[in-house]
Amino acid sequence: AQTVTQSQPEMSVQEAETVTLSCTYDTSENNYYLFWYKQPPSRQMILVIRQEAYKQQNATENRFSVNFQKAAKSFSLKISDSQLGDTAMYFCAFMKHGGTYKYIFGTGTRLKVLA
Amino acid sequence: DVKVTQSSRYLVKRTGEKVFLECVQDMDHENMFWYRQDPGLGLRLIYFSYDVKMKEKGDIPEGYSVSREKKERFSLILESASTNQTSMYLCAIHTAEDSNQPQHFGDGTRLSIL
């Protein structure tokens, strides 16, 4: 069975600084997808970034980028130039290729951006 | 834009009541999911459905059932609510055949069982 671990329950960062959220996972699958979701205090979960395991290049979306290390089963999220609006819960999620589109979520990291 | 609507943002019910949480999508997507979110535990899958009248248990189905009579609506049912079912409930849909497409979530229902 797959597991996803987020070892940082809470983090804080100064506005305009860079922060990295960690995520590790365990799987015997070779083909899978990884996601980072953001849940602001208003509660709707929104996708931040996604990574296909077969792609070696790390995904980037504006200020958000990932460091995907397949051999180490690590998938960290880097937020550059942090903004107050980045304050949220961040969840890492795993989904294996094919099958039922089920996600396995980590326990989340609460990020607070300080003015 | 994908729209996932949960019928209530906040709900307060009594122990032993039968509780219905509704989730409606505005497109013809097949895969729908119910999660519960608890602090320190993340999101855990209760049930999911991959078509009308088709359902599968997730990781924590005990105490819950689901109904999908129409493609656009997926209901979560607490047969006899208990205080340990006080939680945030999130509905999600998967929008495409391709696995790399993300799930889209509703706003959530914060359910309190007294």
Chain B contact for A55, CB < 8 A?
no
> Which of A43, A47, A95, A109 would you mutate first to test chain B, the one with the most B CBs within 10 A?
A43
Check if the beta carbon of residue B67 is closer than 8 Å to that of residue B108. no
Banded model confidence at residue B102, pLDDT cuts 50, 70, 90: confident
pLDDT of B1 reads 75
DSSP class of residue A106? Answer: -
Tell whether A21 is within 8 A of chain B (Cβ).
no
Reply yes or no on whether the pLDDT at A42 is more than 90. no
Considering chain A, what is the average pLDDT of its residues? 94
- CATH numbers and ranges of domains, chain A: 3-114 (2.60.40.10)
Given CB atoms, is B97 within the 8 Å cutoff of chain A? no
pLDDT, tens only, A53-85: 998 899 999 999 999 999 999 999 999 999 999
Burial (0-12, 13-18, 19+ Cβ within 10 Å), B35: buried
Flag if B33 and A9 touch (Cβ within 8 Å): no
Q: Mean pLDDT, to the nearest integer, of B16-35?
A: 92
As a residue count, chain B comes to 114
Who contacts A76 (Cβ-Cβ below 8 Å, separation ≥6)? A20, A21, A22, A23, A66, A67
* Mean pLDDT value of segment B84-101: 84
* Nearest of A15, A6, A72 to residue A39 by alpha carbon: A6
Residue ranges covered by each domain of chain B: 4-113
Q: Which of B71, B76, B94 is nearest to B35 (CA)?
A: B76
Q: Out of 2.40.30.10, 2.160.10.10, 3.30.428.10, 2.60.40.10, which CATH number does the structure's domain B4-113 have?
A: 2.60.40.10
User: In percent, how much of chain A has pLDDT > 70?
Assistant: 100
For residues A23-42, average pLDDT: 93
Q: Which residue does chain A place closest to B109, by CA atoms?
A: A43
Mean pLDDT, residues A38-51 = 91
Residue B59, classed as helix, strand or coil, is coil
A2 contacts in chain B (CB < 8 Å) = none
User: What pLDDT band is residue B96 in, cutting at 50, 70 and 90?
Assistant: low
Mean pLDDT of chain B, nearest integer = 92
